[in-house]
Every structure is written in structure tokens, then in C-alpha cells.
Amino acid sequence: MSWNEQQGSEDKNIQQELLKNGNLPKHIAMIMDGNGRWAVKQNLNRIAGHREGIETVRDIVKACSQLGIKYLTLYAFSIENWKRPTSEVGGLMRLLEFYLRRELKELNENKVKMFSIGKVSSLPKSVQKLLHRAIDTTKDNDGLTLTLALSYSGRWDIVRAVQMLSLDVRRGKISPEDINEEFFAGYLQTNPLPDPDFVIRTSGEMRLSNFLLWENAYSEFYITEKYWPEFRRNELYKALAEFQHRERRFGKTSEQITNKEIEDQNTYLKRILNAINMS
Ligand code: FPP
């Protein structure tokens, strides 16, 4: 059964409200934070937090796909995360393997196209193999593009792009005058993706943590106190309603927005929150 067929009617109604209102983001990027703190709060070990985090990944991917969001990028493992205790790194790698092994069939059946950014060559061979298989199997799909940022850092990708650009200058393929923002972005690993228009970070931290530094120049930010394992689809819906609310200014100043528009926005937010609370 496809994800759309599985969907309950209350959830469908909330999604229809969001869709009716328009202006959903095209590309959502997520900093999945707080697995460790969630686990400690439940008297569990950190890996149990990451395991529960996978359940959130599954729910969020499904909800984004059902809503017709085109791009979702998840910060799953940063270059800095290699400094964590070996046991935690090993546990995370095993969870990644588990996810890629268990989910590929369902992702493919639901037209998800897998992509990755980061220094994939530093991942264990077994993870690399599963990742390449997932990307290759889903390459012709036209649904949600799900990008996993793995062994990724924004500065690393920028430096990598500069190195490749310099090589092309040295080989005489391009001249320094050819370089502008768009041209440079073509050398980043995120080149096939549009810039994120919405970044969500869980667990209340107000940091970018080296995530898509170039690409997030104009993104809207949403920070929630919820830990990643708690950030299920209803939390996503609240974030999306907030995004729509911000977007609905359409570049106007707050003074230009009429009382009627403010009233409409507040009624809309209330309606979405009510629907979520009732579901
Ligand atoms: C941050 O929480 C989370 C991570 C470093 C890993 C995220 C990984 C997953 C959700 C599971 C695997 C992902 C996929 C895409 C299958 P933290 O450990 O830094 O939490 P803390 O700040 O509370 O310690």
C-alpha cells in the first residue's frame, strides 16, 4: 500500500488545509538534534535515542512526500561527529545501514529519489555500498528528493569546490573572470538541489553547526524545543503553518499588511493548531 493510501482522514484534512493555503517550502533542510538528551530523559542510552530518531525520519519523510514537498535534506552525520566515542559512531553507522537496508523498497515504491552530500568515502564500506545502491535504484524517481548529509560540513564542501575550481582554472578550462555566485554554486555537491527555503532545527539550539553554509543564505529558520525523536508530523505541520505565515507577507513591510490580512492569518493558524490538537 502506498503512503497516500495508508493515510488517515484526519491527517489528510490537516494536509489539505496546509496545501490550500499554498506557499509550502520547496526544499526543507533539517538539523536533527536532541537524540542524546531525549534518551537521557528516558533513562536510555544515546543509541536508543538515535534509534527513536529513525522513527521520526520515517514519519517526516512520509509526511513530506504526501504533501508533495520536492526536496528534504537531513543532517544525519557531520564531519565533527567523527569525534564522538567510537561506540556511538559505530552505533550510528549500524543504524544508517539498518535504515538503508530496511527502507529502500518502501522509499522506491513511493517514488523517493535518494541523494547524498558529504565525504561519503570516509563512511564504512558497507554503508557506502548500501547508499550507492539506494541512489542508483531510485535515480529515475520523480517524487521527493531525500538527501542525506553524511560526513558533511558546509566549510568542507566550500573548500572542496574551491579546489576543483582552481584545478579547472589551472587547466585553462575556465578563467577567473567566469566565476560568479551561480558558477561557483555549480561546484558544490548541492548543485542539483535548489537552495533550502526552510531550515528546521530541533532541541532549541540556535546554531547552524556548519550545515549548508552557502545554501542557507536566504533560508527561513524555525527552531523548536522538541527533541528530534519527538518531532513527528504534527510538529512539522506547525512549522509549515508558521512558514506560510511568514511567507504571506510577500515582501511587504509589516506596516503594509492590513488588519484583515493579519486576522486571516491568525484564524488560519488557530484552525491548523485546533486540527492538530484534535488529531
Ligand atoms: C543529533 O543528536 C543527532 C545525530 C548526530 C544523528 C542523527 C541520526 C539519526 C536521527 C539516525 C540516523 C539517520 C538517518 C537519516 C537514517 P545528538 O546526539 O547530538 O543529541 P544531543 O545534542 O541531545 O546529545
Indicate which CATH number applies to the domain containing 83. Answer: 3.40.1180.10
User: What is the C-alpha separation between 253 and 199, in angstroms, rounded?
Assistant: 22
User: What is the C-alpha separation between 76 and 65, in angstroms, rounded?
Assistant: 19
Ligand 1 closest atom vs CA 227? 23
Q: Which residues pair with 72 in a beta bridge?
A: 28, 146
Nearest residue to 57 (alpha-carbon basis) of 123, 121, 112? 112
The closest residue, in CA terms, to atom 3 on ligand 1 is: 33
Amino acid 211: pLDDT: 98
In a domain, 85, yes or no: yes
**Which range of residues forms the domain containing residue 180?**
25-232
In a domain, 201, yes or no: yes
Amino acid 181: pLDDT: 97
Residue ranges of alpha helices (H) inside the chain are 3-6, 9-21, 35-41, 46-67, 86-109, 125-137, 154-170, 181-185, 233-247, 259-278
In a domain, 158, yes or no: yes
Amino acid 191: pLDDT: 98
Burial of 252 by CB count in 10 Å (0-12 exposed, 13-18 middle, 19+ buried)? exposed
Ligand 1 centroid to residue 104 C-alpha, Å: 20
Nearest residue to 158 (alpha-carbon basis) of 216, 222, 101? 216
Pocket of ligand 1 (CB under 6 A): 32-37, 50, 53-54, 57, 74, 76, 81, 92, 95-96, 99, 148, 228
Asked if 33 is an active-site residue, the reply is: yes
CB 152 within 8 A of CB 119: yes
Q: Which of 47, 50, 64 to mutate to test the pocket of ligand 1 (most atoms within 8 A of CB)?
A: 50
Amino acid 252: pLDDT: 74
Amino acid 250: pLDDT: 63
In a domain, 20, yes or no: no
Choice among 23, 45, 81, 141 that is catalytic: 81
Grid cell listed for 117:
552530500
Distances (CA, A) of 221 to 11, 23, 143, 199: 25, 15, 24, 5
Q: Which amino acid is at 272?
A: I
Ligand 1 centroid to residue 15 C-alpha, Å: 27
The residues, any chain, with a CB within 8 Å of residue 167's CB and separated by 6 or more, are none
Ligand 1 centroid to residue 32 C-alpha, Å: 6
Ligand 1 centroid to residue 6 C-alpha, Å: 27
Ligand 1 closest atom vs CA 49? 18
Amino acid 57: pLDDT: 98
**Count: domains in the chain:** 1
The closest residue, in CA terms, to atom 5 on ligand 1 is: 77
In a domain, 7, yes or no: no
In a domain, 37, yes or no: yes
pLDDT means per 10 residues, the chain with 279 residues, are 92 96 96 98 97 98 98 98 97 98 98 98 98 98 98 98 97 95 98 98 97 97 98 98 82 77 84 85
pTM to 2 decimal places = 0.95
In a domain, 16, yes or no: no
In a domain, 212, yes or no: yes
